[in-house]
A and B are shown apart, each in its own frame.
Chain A
């Protein structure tokens, strides 16, 4: 369902194309680069994130908020002390979003939130693989999940919902983006949690449990993908 292509952009240090059932992003990472004077931090690297939306010229407020979330989360993942006075630049281009077609957001204003969460979720996962591809020093791995709770109190993984119609017919009560940090192949902590809607304590527990199970499952694939990438990197060796 999820298809991942790494090193898609030859001239960048690291890049990745990440396709889920309903969205597609392409991300690139360059670094460490020489920053502009005003971005230069004496003891750590600066992190710049740019997100371009699937239509229109960005970044608008919607993308600025996403950039902010990504930049703060990456701050604690990248070993910033290792690249003092340098810049890590992260670019993301949203290629497709389920709500791209005109007017499809208008059924329910809540779709505005769903739409940007879907982008953010794909960006998170794609940027992780781009960072691995660029070999930027990281403190841990992470994986992002997107779950929704509908009016029947079911927990649904949005990345698997394919068509726009079924996305629109989900009557979201709340939507949760959960990014987990993975250390030593185990989930160690929540890196970012973004929940919107109407929900209670038990909903939070339910979503965290579901997201943990999903992360463990999905990260196995990511791990084997990275193994394949490392093998490919040294293909001339064996």
Chain B
């Protein structure tokens, strides 16, 4: 067959057509009642195998440059290939009084590994920002929990650390107490990405949160009186001043478990797409007589897909909902109708909210 421009009919192998016309391939699958690349049902989710632990990996003992103390990790395997690894690490910062009675923030960095280097992609930035906003909206960790309010002292000759410092009249300890706070960072690596990452990244972080713990803090007694001279100026009379310093040390044998103020929320995503009966592949050969029979009226069918999970689905489903909820209610809903024909209606939204709750129940135990 050739059309009027004289372009001959071209045939593409399945893999090539998938990239050229993902929506065509997808809608053909839908007409057969299948999802491409996996034998999942329309309302099926990929299996999530999630392992969280509270092992501490402390990079600062290895290298001086990176001061990363990873206090909680989670590794999730989603489906057959996608792996997400979340590391929550700690930093220390001075307390801002305004923040002290509020909920803490987290500073996430999502990295989707796809064999490239350079500035973060839009997808990574969007996922990071969404997680940042979700963490605020979820109100999971109270700032109070992270503030360093007890400081131990270790005497040089003893192995024990004395945390009972209430009666120790030591200026330095009072200087530290309630003045410093832990800051949470999350580094989330996504390997062999398949489909939109945000919801799974969210779940992985939530799972890691359940294991979150912070070390107790102490100082060594012989470092208390350490003073470092600061030269103010070279030209004028050298006015030497000293600044008191102290080395905060972390006691990884004594960890404080952080109690979450709210239950972790579980995110899941859904998409809406309509079938296209005009591209129905006719399986039975028609007799010549049947040509006379009037064409049956074309009918579109709306299909709800849960857990958008492959490139084809990601590119052809543009109307999506992403819901994150816990037992007590929702913490975030994101509904975007990106396709003018396949639209998520209010009724679809209702259906999705029900499905999201069921999904939350089933995945919650798995993650915790």
Contacts from A to B (Cβ < 8 Å): 61-62, 64-65, 68-69, 72-73, 75-77, 103, 106-110, 112-113, 116, 139, 174, 181, 189-201, 204, 208
Which residues of A lie under 8 Å from residue B134 when comparing CB positions?
196
Contact check, A62 vs B129: say whether CB atoms are below 8 A apart: yes
A61–B335 contact, CB under 8 A?
no
Which B residues are CB-close (under 8 A) to A110?
A: 136-137
Q: Assess whether B92 is interfacial by the CB under 8 Å rule.
A: no
Contact of B338 (CB < 8 Å), options: A73, A108, A174 = A73
A196 touches B133 (CB 8 A): yes
Which 7 pairs from chain A and chain B are nearest by CB? A193-B335, A196-B137, A72-B338, A76-B340, A61-B129, A195-B333, A65-B129
Contacts of B338 in A (CB 8 A): 72-73, 75-76
Report A164 CB to chain B, min CB distance, Å: 15
Q: Which residues of B contact A198 (CB under 8 A)?
A: 137, 139, 262, 328-331
CA distance A116 to B126 in the complex (A): 13
Q: Chain A residues with Cβ under 8 A from B343's Cβ?
A: 76, 189
Closest residue of chain B to A79 (Cβ to Cβ) is: B340
The complex places the Cα of A75 from the Cα of B105 at a distance, in Å, of 33
Whether B331 and A196, one on each chain, are in contact in the complex, defined by CB atoms closer than 8 angstroms, is yes
Judge whether B246 is part of the interface by a CB distance below 8 angstroms.
Answer: no
A75 to B317, CA, bound (A): 13
From A64, A77, A194, A197, give the contact of B340 (CB < 8 A).
A77
The answer to whether B122 touches A195, judged by C-beta atoms less than 8 angstroms apart, is: no
Residues of B338-352 contacting chain A, CB below 8 A: 338-340, 343-346, 349
Contact of A69 among B139, B336, B345 (CB under 8 A): B336
State A191–B134 Cα separation when bound (angstroms): 21
Chain A residues near B96: list those with CB within 8 A.
Answer: 106
Given contacts A110-B136, A113-B137, contact A190 B344 (CB under 8 A): yes
> With the chains together, A31 CA to B335 CA distance in Å?
27
From B102, B332, B349, A196 is in contact (CB under 8 Å) with: B332
Complex Cα gap A62–B132 (Å): 10
Give how many B residues have a beta carbon under 8 Å from the other chain's beta carbons: 41
Q: How far is A72 from B271 in the complex, measured between Cα atoms in Å?
A: 14
| Nearest neighbor of B123 in chain A, beta-carbon distance | A68
Which B residues touch A200, using CB under 8 A? 329-330
Which residue on chain B has the smallest CB distance to residue A201?
B353
Contact B331–A197 (Cβ < 8 Å)? yes
> Inter-chain contact count A-B, CB under 8 Å?
111
Interface residues of B (CB under 8 A from A): 96, 98-99, 102-105, 122, 125-126, 128-130, 132-134, 136-137, 139, 262, 318-319, 328-340, 343-346, 349, 353
For the complex with contacts A76-B337, A112-B133, A190-B335, 8 further pairs of A-B residues with Cβ separation under 8 Å are A65-B125, A72-B336, A107-B102, A110-B137, A113-B136, A189-B343, A192-B336, A198-B262
Residues of chain A within 8 A of B130, CB atoms compared: 65
Say which residue of B126, B332, B337 sits within 8 Å of A64 (CB atoms). Answer: B126
Cross-chain contact A76 with B339 (CB below 8 angstroms): yes
Are A191 and B337 in contact, with the CB atoms below 8 A?
A: yes
Known A64-B129, A113-B136; contact A76-B331, beta-carbon cutoff 8 A: no
Q: Can you give 25 contacting A-B residue pairs, CB < 8 Å?
A: A64-B125, A64-B126, A64-B129, A68-B122, A68-B126, A69-B336, A75-B340, A76-B338, A106-B99, A109-B104, A113-B133, A139-B340, A181-B337, A190-B335, A190-B344, A190-B345, A192-B335, A192-B337, A193-B349, A194-B333, A195-B334, A196-B133, A196-B136, A197-B332, A198-B262
Q: Output the nearest chain A residue to B262 by Cβ-Cβ distance.
A: A198
Contacts of B137 in A (CB 8 A): 110, 113, 174, 196-198
Is B337 touching A195 in the complex (CB atoms < 8 A)? no
Would you call A190 and B349 a contact (CB within 8 A)? yes
In whole Å, how far is A207's beta carbon from the nearest beta carbon of chain B?
A: 10
When chains A and B are docked, how far (Å) is the Cα of A150 from the Cα of B344?
A: 28
Residues on B with beta carbons closer than 8 Å to the beta carbon of A65 = 125-126, 129-130
Residues of B within 8 A of A204 (CB): 330, 333, 353
Determine how close the nearest CB of chain A comes to the CB of B196; give it in whole angstroms.
12
Q: How many angstroms between the C-alpha atoms of A194 and B333 in the bound complex? A: 6
B333 touches A193 (CB 8 A): yes
The chain B residue sitting closest to A77, CB to CB, is: B340
Determine if A72 and B129 form an interchain contact, defined as CB atoms under 8 angstroms apart.
no
Closest Cβ neighbor of A72 among chain B residues: B338
Question: Which residue on chain B has the smallest CB distance to residue A64?
Answer: B125
